[in-house]
């Protein structure tokens, strides 16, 4: 039987950063509130959560990179709302923000929860920021918690795996 590793959903004893865009703030604030709620419900202390604000989603990757570089956090939650307009600007902002945050997640030793909404309409943003489709800020925080715990499991020294036959014999 293979050994399965999975993170738990306990935030106690860990520090989390939330990086959030101010553009479309009326929706982003709902994401931030839900992310904080998720962290605190999962055991994070109020003092272990810090929120960093930037102008828009395009600035999130640079801010996230600098926050991660401080070494103070085990998890980061990136939040923003981009709503399609009449120009291709939407595609550029969403693509660059997503690629930049994915690069931070791949390179950093910090768990990254992605909560940048890319919506065609305001109604879609409302649905994903606490309406009938749930709240993606809450979801992104839960991802950061789970991955932070999984990273801890990976970093911890592991006992050598026992052959399956030895494990079965021991159970008898």
Query: Which residues are known catalytic residues?
Result: 89
* Residue showing tokens 């999975």: 6
> What number of CA atoms fall less than 13 Å from residue 100's CA on the CB side?
18
What gap in Å lies between CA 141 and CA 72, rounded to an integer?
A: 17
Residues paired with 76 in a beta bridge: 17, 112
Q: Using N-to-C axis directions, what is the helix angle for 25-41 and 136-155, rounded to 10°?
A: 40
DSSP output for 143-165: HHHHHHHHHHHHHS--PPPPPHH
Map tokens 């990976």 to a residue: 154
How many helices and strands (H and E) does the chain possess?
A: 6, 6
Cβ proximity of 18 and 51 under 8 Å: yes
N residues, the chain: 172
């Amino acid at each position: 039987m293979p050994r399965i590793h999975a993170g738990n959903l306990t935030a106690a004893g860990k520090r989390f950063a939330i990086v959030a865009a101010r553009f479309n703030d009326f929706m982003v604030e709902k994401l931030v509130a839900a992310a904080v709620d998720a962290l605190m419900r999962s055991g994070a202390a109020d003092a272990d959560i810090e929120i960093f604000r930037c102008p828009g989603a395009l600035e999130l990757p640079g801010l996230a990179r600098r926050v991660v570089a401080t070494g103070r956090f085990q998890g980061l939650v990136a939040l923003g709302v981009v709503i399609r307009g009449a120009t291709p600007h939407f595609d550029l902002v969403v693509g660059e923000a997503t690629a930049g945050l994915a690069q931070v997640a791949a390179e950093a030793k910090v768990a990254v929860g992605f909560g940048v909404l890319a919506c065609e309409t305001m109604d879609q943003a409302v649905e994903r920021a606490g309406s009938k489709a749930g709240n993606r800020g809450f979801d992104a925080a839960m991802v950061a918690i789970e991955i932070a715990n999984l990273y801890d499991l990976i970093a911890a020294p592991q006992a050598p795996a026992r052959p399956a036959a030895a494990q079965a014999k021991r159970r008898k």
